[in-house]
A and B are shown apart, each in its own frame.
Chain A
Amino acid sequence: MRYLPHTPEDISAMLQAIGVKSLEDLFPTVPYDCRRTGDLKLPEALTEWELNKHIDKLSNTMAVSPEFRVFLGAGSYDHYIPASVSYLLSRSEFVTSYTPYQPEISQGTLQAIFEYQTLTARLLGMDVANASQYDGASSIAEALLMAVRITRQKKVAVSRLIHPNYRQVIETYFAPTDCEIIELPYTEAGITDLSKINDLENLAAVAVQSPNFFGCIEDLQSSAKKAHDKKALSVVGFTEPLAYGMYKNPGSFDADIACGEGQSLGIPRTFGGPALGMFAAKQKYVRNIPGRLVGQTADVEGRRGFVLTLATREQHIRREKATSNICTNHSLCALAASIYMASVGGSGFKELARLNYDKCEYLKDQLRKAGYSLPFSQSTFNELVVQFPEGFETTYQDLLKKRIIAGLPLECYYPELANHYLLCVTETMAKEDIDTLVKEIVT
């Protein structure tokens, strides 16, 4: 086996040094009744070339562009990834290193995370960002737990337009606690109805997502004000951070915590993971933030360098009193996001966001012209909800055969929205792809 360097001579020499006769004799402390009796039942080892064939066979069954036109968003977005990003991301020194606990020989990862924290904080308009978490869903769950810790209140108000899967994850995290989740309904315009908050007391947080699950831009000013009036934290989630290339970010509306999914920023979709949990907060909450933080300092010769810092919040020191049990960040995904943001640049980011917006507006325009109803009037980014006529399900299945995935049926997430579909277009959809979609829907 090519990963196991020991020759039989090496093995005998080492066994002899240890003073045992065989490899089996290395396990004297494993009692006989703890040992496995039969062999593992795994398939026979494949050669590298057999494995390639096998994987190609599996991966070729997947519906991906360019063979398929996939108009799916809903928390996972198709954006062009520059070759330079993928290339840099394959550098062994980034890929095969561990958490930078030994800063002298990990400055590359440390500076890259410091830069990621900075770009994230700037993008979201927040004071500080952490070194990243698993994904958007666990980030928002952690944000709500953080709000509960800070306010010492046990109720959280959560918008129904936060990604339905994220809401399920929040429920899982909250199930063993004595906290209560109160769901905020949505308005006819397609944004969160905040009126219910007036009657709530002892609130820890008000959480909305913007752009929300329908692609609509939320009224973050009002959600923050309502939260702060109740002495609760304003939590703003997101699944598409590219939107902040043109729309005002959570920080400009006085959000206390901004958190969400960063997959859009140069990370392949890979069936939903690994992704990037982005997490940022106001400075005054820095000691309550979950996860890792990198800080700037100097070495003994006074030269600038970086270290993991404020580690006393974390599980390896504070154990059961830690701010979270998390002990990783999605470092490599954060690196991808940083390289992507640096490559696209400030000017490019704004232009790219606008292009995404315009493509989606073009689709809206074409759908309206074709006579379909777009039920929600609020401004959107990348995504939109369309109501198709009764019986569209058959057309949807026909389109699948034509290798077009015409969005996500919403009924299983929102039972009241039968025949409603969530469509997504990004810069990767050409005008003619959009035209084809509308033409095929009409016929």
Chain B
Amino acid sequence: MKELSELNLPDDVRYAESHEWAKPEGDKVKVGITDYAQDQLGDIVFVELPEAGDSFEKGEEFGTVESVKAVSELYMPVGGEIVAANTSLEDSPERVNNRPYSDGWMIEVKLDDASEMDGLLTNDAYLEKLKG
């Protein structure tokens, strides 16, 4: 497992304490899990995602991610309607391990309330949380 100093925590996304990231793209937000989360889970073998059109509130469970011997719930960092889900993860779940902030994205959300983004953590604040 990685040391905290080895983590890739880009500054163009915001972080949730439940280890998801959110990145504004136009009027939408892309969501995935952080480098820390994928590293803790180990080799990811399956990702269960919602369908476009489903709506969830901030903090609600929207899917699960599985390694060989663990299942973790995925929580909405921001509330809104699912515009797209990354269906390529069905066949290539390893993308979440290899490139968690690009190919490994999970859902695209149309925000209900733009101010929810402000409640998320910066990379520095997230790292501080991880240091506990």
- Nearest chain-B residue to A322 (Cβ)? B71
B residues within 8 A CB of A287?
46
B68 on the A face (CB < 8 A): yes
A residues within 8 A CB of B68?
311-312
In whole angstroms, how far apart are the Cα atoms of A318 and B66 in the complex?
Answer: 10
A317 on the B face (CB < 8 A): yes
**What range describes how many residues of A lie at the interface?**
under 10
Contact present for A311 and B69 (CB under 8 Å): yes
Interface of A is mostly: helix
Which residues of A from 310 to 328 have beta carbons under 8 Å from B? Answer: 311-312, 317-318, 321
A residues within 8 A CB of B69?
311-312, 317
Shortest Cβ gap from A262 to chain B (Å): 29
Contact present for B71 and A318 (CB under 8 Å): yes
B residues within 8 A CB of A317?
69-71
- Nearest chain-A residue to B70 (Cβ)? A317
In whole angstroms, how far apart are the Cα atoms of A287 and B70 in the complex?
Answer: 15
- Nearest chain-A residue to B66 (Cβ)? A312
Shortest Cβ gap from B4 to chain A (Å): 27
Shortest Cβ gap from A425 to chain B (Å): 48
Number of interface residues of B (CB under 8 A): 8
In whole angstroms, how far apart are the Cα atoms of A317 and B71 in the complex?
Answer: 7
Shortest Cβ gap from B120 to chain A (Å): 27
Shortest Cβ gap from A374 to chain B (Å): 52
Q: C-beta contact mask, B56-73 vs A, less than 8 Å → 1, else 0?
A: 000000000011111100
Shortest Cβ gap from A427 to chain B (Å): 45
B residues within 8 A CB of A318?
71
Which residues of B from 69 to 104 have beta carbons under 8 Å from A? Answer: 69-71
In whole angstroms, how far apart are the Cα atoms of A312 and B67 in the complex?
Answer: 8
In whole angstroms, how far apart are the Cα atoms of A312 and B64 in the complex?
Answer: 11
B residues within 8 A CB of A311?
68-69
In whole angstroms, how far apart are the Cα atoms of A344 and B113 in the complex?
Answer: 67
Shortest Cβ gap from A315 to chain B (Å): 12
Shortest Cβ gap from B43 to chain A (Å): 12
Shortest Cβ gap from A293 to chain B (Å): 13
In whole angstroms, how far apart are the Cα atoms of A318 and B46 in the complex?
Answer: 14
B residues within 8 A CB of A321?
71
In whole angstroms, how far apart are the Cα atoms of A312 and B66 in the complex?
Answer: 7
Q: C-beta contact mask, A305-343 vs B, less than 8 Å → 1, else 0?
A: 000000110000110010000000000000000000000
- Nearest chain-B residue to A319 (Cβ)? B71
Q: C-beta contact mask, A279-322 vs B, less than 8 Å → 1, else 0?
A: 00000000100000000000000000000000110000110010
In whole angstroms, how far apart are the Cα atoms of A316 and B66 in the complex?
Answer: 14
A residues within 8 A CB of B45?
312
B residues within 8 A CB of A312?
45-46, 66-71
In whole angstroms, how far apart are the Cα atoms of A427 and B70 in the complex?
Answer: 49
A residues within 8 A CB of B70?
312, 317
- Nearest chain-A residue to B64 (Cβ)? A312
In whole angstroms, how far apart are the Cα atoms of A312 and B44 in the complex?
Answer: 12
Task: Pick 14 A–B contacts, CB within 8 A, sort by A.
Answer: A311-B68, A311-B69, A312-B46, A312-B66, A312-B67, A312-B68, A312-B69, A312-B70, A312-B71, A317-B69, A317-B70, A317-B71, A318-B71, A321-B71
Residues of chain A having any CB pair with chain B under 8 Å: 287, 311-312, 317-318, 321
A312-B45, A312-B69, A317-B70 known; 11 new pairs, CB 8 Å cut-off, are: A287-B46, A311-B68, A311-B69, A312-B46, A312-B66, A312-B67, A312-B68, A312-B71, A317-B71, A318-B71, A321-B71
